[in-house]
Chains A and B, each alone.
Chain A
Amino acid sequence: MSHYVEIKSQYKSQEALVAALGGIVGKGNVEVHETPQPIVGYMGRKGGPCNIIVRRRRNDEPLLPSYGDAGWRRNPDGTFAGTMDAYDAGLFAALPQLYARAVTIQQARRQGFTVTETQQPDGALRLTLTRY
């Protein structure tokens, strides 16, 4: 017997979200704050506050080719919601896929599965979890 199910993705795991963002901007460029911190948008506008932040600049040095910082705030239900300039959304286009990949690998390892990855012609990433 087998089954398949389609999932509407939500950012629930801070660990996986940070790992996925690290895959886009570099591990050392993702800030994690227990207490939400403000982010800085286009023309210095204040936004946020957010728990997970990717800064546009650090110490006056540009980190991202973006219009502002990007941040994710932890909602009361534990999920994370992102805030960023609309023009910067393309920089994080890979985030949903990278996040789901990180969560799946995390869960697979916990359950003792071996994971193999293959890229599908339609752009999907296929993770095959096997266990004897």
Chain B
Amino acid sequence: MKKITVDIWPDGQIRIEAAGYAPGECLQATKAIEDALGTAGERTRKLPEATVGTGVQVKTR
């Protein structure tokens, strides 16, 4: 199942998270939504849980 979670705070701050996509697909999946909403800021990639184990998030530059 493909899943995109969009959290919207009252001040307009938005966070989008995509899950269930193959590597490389998730960026494309959210691009249309990101473009429609505004300007994307820093992007953080999460490795698959099996790789990370405890769900630690890894920041990429």
Residue numbers of A with Cβ under 8 A of B are 1-10, 12-13, 93-94, 96-97, 99-101, 103-104, 106-108, 110-111, 113, 120, 122-132
**Within 8 Å CB of B11, what residues of A?**
96-97
Determine whether B13 belongs to the interface, using a CB cutoff of 8 Å to chain A.
yes
Determine whether B5 belongs to the interface, using a CB cutoff of 8 Å to chain A.
yes
Report the tally of A-B residue pairs with Cβ distances under 8 A.
144
- In the complex, the answer to whether B8 meets A3 with C-beta atoms within 8 Å is no
**Within 8 Å CB of A132, what residues of B?**
1-2
Known: A9-B13, A106-B36, A129-B3. 12 other contacts (CB 8 A): A1-B25, A2-B26, A5-B42, A5-B44, A7-B39, A10-B39, A97-B10, A99-B12, A104-B8, A108-B33, A113-B2, A125-B7
Tally chain B residues at the interface, Cβ within 8 Å.
Answer: 44
Residue numbers of B with Cβ under 8 A of A are 1-27, 30, 32-34, 36-48
Residue of A nearest to B46 (CB): A2
**Within 8 Å CB of A3, what residues of B?**
17-18, 26-27, 30, 43-46
**Within 8 Å CB of A129, what residues of B?**
3-6
Given A96-B10, A100-B37, A104-B6: A5 and B43 within 8 A (CB)? yes
How far does the alpha carbon of A7 sit from the alpha carbon of B22 in the complex, in Å? 22
How far does the alpha carbon of A128 sit from the alpha carbon of B1 in the complex, in Å? 12
How far does the alpha carbon of A88 sit from the alpha carbon of B18 in the complex, in Å? 37
Residue of B nearest to A125 (CB): B8
Of A10, A12, A106, A126, the contact of B5 (CB 8 Å cutoff): A126
**Within 8 Å CB of B38, what residues of A?**
7-10, 12
